[in-house]
Amino acid sequence: MFSAQNTTLFLSPRDVARLLQQQSMATTLLGMATYIEEDFLRWKSFDKSPRVANHSPDGVIELMPIADASTYTFKYVNGHPKNTARGLPTVMAFGVLADVATGVPLLISELTLTTALRTAATSAVAARALARPDSRVMALIGNGAQSEFQALAFHHLLGIEEIRIYDLDPAASVKLMRNLHNNPDAVGLRLDLCDSIALAVRGADIVTTITADKTNATIITPEMLEPGMHINGVGGDCPGKTEIHPDVLRAAKVFVEYEPQTRIEGDLQHLPAEFAVTELWQVLNAQKTGRDNASQVTLFDSVGFAMEDFSALRYVFDQAQALRLGSTIDLIPQLADPKNLYQLVRPDPI
């Protein structure tokens, strides 16, 4: 643990980018996936709750708290699909990791880049448990800010060799292809640009949807399903924002992170409370089965859960200390007498 008394480690977006550059994308995704899976395996040790959300016509601002016996974290995150027209990211985030015993904030970190990494790593953790082991082709529907991370996570952690890409905005697909073309992180990965969703998903072993519009969309419809397909539904993550036709969920075996939150925010919001789902931790702990057979359609209704940010903050905190990244800030008062807060503002004695 960070040992400097009453100081907080600060990680900027540039610091997290340096971490990636020093370790490589593959190493970082694998490390983060390992931390996430470790925490899923001790699911019952966490004090959990759905995130707190404040919605507006333009988007949502959310707080995502969670704790175990020793560490507390929270993430502040927004989702504003119109932001790109203003020169701002759709999603922006920061997070705090604190010591439960004292309440001291040990880390404050950017979580915009880190959220993209943890979301991709979580997708890969779920797919390793749910997709067919011989999966080699993925369709990637939605080629925005998080698409490269999803592509690279599935390439490095699941062995995906071909990704068929589609976006309503052709410029987004061009951006994705440019970022991964001749990229050492993407060696051995083939990208195929498709002119429709139907063409992209045809013959795909895995389908990842990660769109940004705050609307009840039906990007994946029942006629697109093929035996053995795994659907990784990432973009439907708040009330009124979905991507998957309800009949697709009815035709699939559905898995979620934290059911109370997913029923409010995920594609699951369209279905009645009695519709059965399985929480991912139960599969990872071998308490319940994942895929029952090679021809079954599986669906991970991913909305993003606070425990994944807990894992991500633990990971970047540990790696930043090992690599000596970041800077320290005086976020809480440095007091000679902790009972005398007024000493910070008291005039110097005459």
Nearest to 216, CA basis, from 145, 276, 266: 266
Q: How many CA atoms lie within 13 A of 182 on its CB side?
A: 1
Q: Are 175 and 278 contained in the same domain?
A: yes
Q: Are 265 and 338 contained in the same domain?
A: no
Q: Are 244 and 107 contained in the same domain?
A: no
Q: Is residue 32 part of a domain?
A: yes
Nearest to 131, CA basis, from 259, 231, 42: 231
Tell me how many degrees the CA angle 196-78-238 measures, rounded to the nearest 5: 60
Token pair of 308 as six digits: 């994944």
Q: Quick one: pLDDT at residue 346?
A: 84
CATH number of the domain enclosing 236: 3.40.50.720
Q: Quick one: pLDDT at residue 5?
A: 58
Q: Is residue 158 part of a domain?
A: yes
Q: Are 288 and 333 contained in the same domain?
A: no
**247 CB burial (10 A radius; 0-12, 13-18, 19+):** middle
Neighbour tally for 189: CB within 10 Å? 18
C-alpha span between 133 and 293 (Å, rounded): 11
Q: Quick one: pLDDT at residue 170?
A: 96
Q: Quick one: pLDDT at residue 107?
A: 98
Contacts of 171-178 with C-beta under 8 Å, sequence gap 24+, read 172/142, 172/143, 172/144, 172/147, 173/143, 175/143, 176/140, 176/143, 176/147, 176/148, 176/151
Q: Are 170 and 299 contained in the same domain?
A: yes
Q: Is residue 118 part of a domain?
A: no
Q: Quick one: pLDDT at residue 6?
A: 73
Secondary structure (DSSP) of 100-141: TTT--EEEEEE-HHHHHHHHHHHHHHHHHHHS-TT--EEEEE
Q: Is residue 3 part of a domain?
A: no
Q: Quick one: pLDDT at residue 349?
A: 57
**What letter would DSSP give residue 184?**
G
E strand map for the chain: 8-11, 52-56, 59-67, 71-79, 93-99, 105-110, 137-141, 162-166, 190-193, 206-209, 216-220, 230-233, 242-244, 253-256, 278-279, 298-301, 327-329
C-alpha span between 306 and 154 (Å, rounded): 22
Q: Are 86 and 200 contained in the same domain?
A: no
Secondary structure (DSSP) of 219-240: EE-GGG--TT-EEEE-S--BTT
Which residues in the chain come in under a pLDDT of 70? 1-5, 347-350
Token pair of 316 as six digits: 């970047």
Q: Residue 234: left if φ>0, alpha if ψ -120 to 50, beta else—which one?
A: alpha
Tell me how many degrees the CA angle 182-117-11 measures, rounded to the nearest 5: 110
Q: Residue 324: left if φ>0, alpha if ψ -120 to 50, beta else—which one?
A: left
- Which residues constitute the domain of residue 142? 132-304
237 is catalytic: yes
**187 CB burial (10 A radius; 0-12, 13-18, 19+):** exposed
Q: Are 99 and 158 contained in the same domain?
A: no
For the chain, what is the domain count? 2
Q: Are 76 and 146 contained in the same domain?
A: no
Q: Which of 237, 267, 301, 309 is catalytic?
A: 237
Q: Is residue 255 part of a domain?
A: yes
Q: Are 60 and 193 contained in the same domain?
A: no
Secondary element (H or E) of residue 21: helix 13-23
Q: Are 153 and 291 contained in the same domain?
A: yes
CATH number of the domain enclosing 101: 3.30.1780.10
